Structure 1
Amino acid sequence: MDAFSKLPEEINHLVSEFSSMPVVGGLGAGLTQYSVWLLVAAIVFAAIMLVFIKRQTLVPRGVFVNGVEYLIEYVQDDVAKGVVGTEWRRHFPFLATIFLFILVNNFIGLIPGCKPGTGAIGCTAALALVTFIYFVYFGCKKHGVIGYIKSLAPAGVMFPMNVFVWVIEVFSLLLRPITLAIRLFCNMFAGHIVMGSFSIMATLFAEPLLEHFSAMNALGALPSLAWLAILLIIYAVELIVAFVQAYVFTVLAAVYIQIAEAEGH
């Protein structure tokens, strides 16, 4: 019971650790802990790409080169070609970059002591805003600004229904970056809170045994093994979630690009 009584306080402390705290400067103008980890992820991502380019040969060799090449080809075939279509070459660099950058952020956040840049709504909002500007720009480039605005209403819909549909489509367009940002943030933030919670449970039940070894304390520490086993399972699931969330974000970006450039939308 003593372990459970401490749980609410520990959970509140855990959640507070995941808030955006300033590291350099103030919260309004400075770097938060998530901004720092986002920069760390950017450096790691750049280093991975530089090493990959340096080691890349006509016939890929080694786990590292083959692994990175597999991810790039996966985005090329499954996302760029599969979703965007004939214009995939133009958008492939952006889609591959956004996928790998989010993936690196997510994986870094799974390292004990680290936090994912994608675990703060401000960081995911920045990624979503870049994506929004990107597909709107290419939509305007393809149809012209006026043409793109008009294209939001599907062709063949009679007046005044076309005006009503156009308003709905405008709202849908403006909601896209919001849903992109919230989906990625919520999944990464919630996953880390869940892992932290089970880690706390395992620690609280094992704490008396670590302080003083006795048969009673050893018996009381047995639930820690169950919490630890669940934690390991959740950790494995979070590895999958880290990949899935990068994939979902990239696929949705590709869908929005395809819609923006589609004829007769």
Structure 2
Amino acid sequence: MEAFELLPEEINHLVSEFHSIPVVGDLMTGVTQYTFWMIVSAILLLIIMFAFVKNMSLVPHGMFQNMMEYIIQFIEKDVGKAIVGKTWKKHFPFLATLFFFIFVNNVVGIIPGMKPGSGTISTTAALALVAFIYFIACGVKVHGPIGYIKSLAPSGVAFPLNVLIWVIEVISTLLRPITLAVRLFCNMFAGHIVMGSFAIMVTLFAQPLLEQLTAANVVGALPSLAFGAILLVIYGIEMFVGVIQAYVFTVLTAVYIQGAEAEGH
């Protein structure tokens, strides 16, 4: 019972640890723990890519090379060719970079003691803003500034209904970076709160046993085994969620690029 009494306090402490805390300087000009781990993730991604390119061959050898080839081909076929269409080649580097950057950040954040760069709204908002600027620029490049604005209106719809639909499309377009940022942030934040909560439960029930070996403490620590098993399952789920969220962000960006380059609906 004592473990459950301490749980609210520990949960509050857990949530406070997800606030942006500067490790160098201050919040305005320094480096927070999220920025630090984002830099670590970026360096790790560069190392992975250099290792892949260095060992690249016509016939991939080894688990690492085959896995990288599979992921790249998956992005090429299922995101580039299937969604963007005939112009997929020029957008592939951007889409692949988005996927790998988000994925590596998500995975690094799962490691105990680390924080995901994608675990703060400022990072996900920056990613969403980059995606927003990119697909808007693609639309302007294909249609021109005025042509892109006109392309938001559906063709074949009579006035004034076409104006109403155009206004809705403009609002929808402006909301896209917000939904991209919030979706990624909320999924990663919620997942880490759940993992942290179960980790706290394991610690609270096991701590008396670690302090003193008695029969009562052994019985009292039994729930920690169940919470530990659940925690392992959640870790696996979070790894899967990290992949899915990177994929969803990339797919939605590809959809927006395709829509920006397409003619009026």
- TM bin, normalised by shorter chain, reads over 0.9
Q: Which residue of 1 aligns with 2:150?
A: 150
Q: Which residue of 1 aligns with 2:32?
A: 32
Q: Which residue of 1 aligns with 2:51?
A: 51
In 1, Cα distance between equivalents of 2:194 and 2:142: 44
In 2, Cα distance between equivalents of 1:140 and 1:83: 19
In 2, Cα distance between equivalents of 1:47 and 1:210: 40
Q: Which residue of 1 aligns with 2:12?
A: 12
Alignment map for 1:26-105 (pairs within 5 Å): 26-105=26-105
Structure 1 counterpart SS, 2:24: strand
Q: Which residue of 1 aligns with 2:161?
A: 161
Q: Which residue of 2 aligns with 1:219?
A: 219
The alignment's TM-score, normalised by the length of structure 2, stands at 0.98
Q: What is the number of equivalent residue pairs in this alignment?
A: 265
Q: Which amino acid aligns with 1:174?
A: L
In the alignment, structure 2 segments of 5+ residues that lack a partner are none
Q: Which residue of 1 aligns with 2:136?
A: 136
In the alignment, structure 1 segments of 5+ residues that lack a partner are none
Quote the offset at 1:8 in angstroms. Answer: 0.6
Q: Which residue of 1 aligns with 2:243?
A: 243
After superposition, what is the alpha-carbon deviation per residue over 1:126-185, rounded to whole angstroms, capped at 9, x for unaligned? 110000000000000000001101111111121111111111111100100000000000
TM superposition outliers: structure 1 runs of 4+ over 2 Å: none
The alignment's TM-score, normalised by the length of structure 1, stands at 0.98
Q: CA RMSD in A?
A: 0.8
Q: Which amino acid aligns with 1:71?
A: I
Q: 2:261 aligned with 1:258, yes or no?
A: no
Q: Which amino acid aligns with 2:264?
A: G
In 2, Cα distance between equivalents of 1:33 and 1:74: 32
After superposition, what is the alpha-carbon deviation per residue over 1:44-83, rounded to whole angstroms, capped at 9, x for unaligned? 1111111110011111111111111111111001100111
In 1, Cα distance between equivalents of 2:7 and 2:264: 57
Q: Which residue of 2 aligns with 1:112?
A: 112
Quote the offset at 1:34 in angstroms. Answer: 0.7
Quote the offset at 1:29 in angstroms. Answer: 2.2
Quote the offset at 1:30 in angstroms. Answer: 2.0
In 2, Cα distance between equivalents of 1:99 and 1:263: 27
In 1, Cα distance between equivalents of 2:14 and 2:221: 22
Of 126-135 and 161-170, more deviation after overlay is shown by 161-170
Q: Which amino acid aligns with 1:161?
A: L
Structure 2 counterpart SS, 1:23: strand
